[in-house]
Amino acid sequence: MAKMNFGGIEENVVTREEFPLSKAREVLKDETIAIIGYGVQGPGQALNLKDNGFNVIIGQRSPSSSYDKAIQDGFVPGETLFSIEEAVKKATIVQYLLSDAAQIAVWPTIKPHLTAGKALYFSHGFGITYKERTGIIPPADIDVILAAPKGSGTSLRRLFLAGKGLNSSYAIFQDATGRAQERVIALGIGIGSGYLFETTFRKEVYSDLTGERGSLMGAIQGLFAAQYEILRAKGHSPSEAFNETVEEATESLYPLVAENGMDWMYANCSTTAQRGALDWWKKFRDACKPVFEELYESVETGNEAQLSIDSNSKADYREKLEAELKELQESEMWQAGRVVRSLRPSR
């Protein structure tokens, strides 16, 4: 584990250089890794581990579209694809990658098979951090660990296939075997992490829920919508409003930020753009900061967790979700986006 300096603050990180794939394979050579759930994170992590030479099986209910997808991805019923209960029985490491709501529902099924010495792995700290609400209280004689890629399973897989990696956090909640540290690092390397940084289950879920509701998804949609609606109200066309609000951001400027940072992106824009951005960014920060304070407090108190549990456990959850997503899909801004994307030149 190396100490890395981030703006004058040291953090514990693990890189591929100090913990190469060959070491990860050696650590996990006698382990059977069961991926429970084949939805958002499951396919990316499972396929990356499989391609990296680890012993991977899938636990997924059947019939289901996810079960069919696992077959399409090369997992074989009765050999590497099983029911959830059977996979947990066979595994020494259980990667619990169901949705938060599904983890709560399935927990009574898997808990009896989490026998001494096994490891229970999460990619989100929700179930353990809010264990009084979720009921996910693991046995004392197993390792409980976390490796959380900072992005979707789709991105994890795409970057892996491109020879790159998606950074991940890692945490240990319970070390019953004395091997939790090497197990979680090996798994983090095995799933294709760029580098791993240390956190806790609590910090992971607090930052994750804040980020999803904030700059990663909720806030960015709100910001896009506000600017688009103002431009349209002032007489700009849908094409112009969308290009100036979303297309230029995602296709031109955000990639520059990812490449070398915000200062580098500023340096590669016109002096007029630089001046305006430098004049206005603090006003946006000051306007948004109270909202983020409110958001973090809602996460910290468990209110956001309870809202998710209550909403996602309802029988009509999927129907209501689809209705809300349809509202976004049918908004003028994203209808304009579909047209703009269709007009991009083919590469």
Catalytic positions are: 124
Sign of the C-alpha dihedral computed for residues 301, 306, 308 and 311 taken in this order: negative
Which three-class secondary structure state does DSSP give residue 257? helix
78, with CB counted inside 10 A (0-12, 13-18, 19+), is: exposed
What DSSP element (H or E) covers 195? strand 193-198
By CB atoms closer than 10 A (0-12, 13-18, 19+), residue 19 is buried
Tell me, rounded to whole angstroms, the distance of Cα 226 from its chain centroid: 26
CA dist 160 and 190 (Å) reads 10
- Give the residue carrying structure tokens 């100036």: 244
**220 φ/ψ sector (left φ>0, alpha ψ -120 to 50, else beta):** alpha
Q: Fill in the DSSP letter of residue 177.
A: S
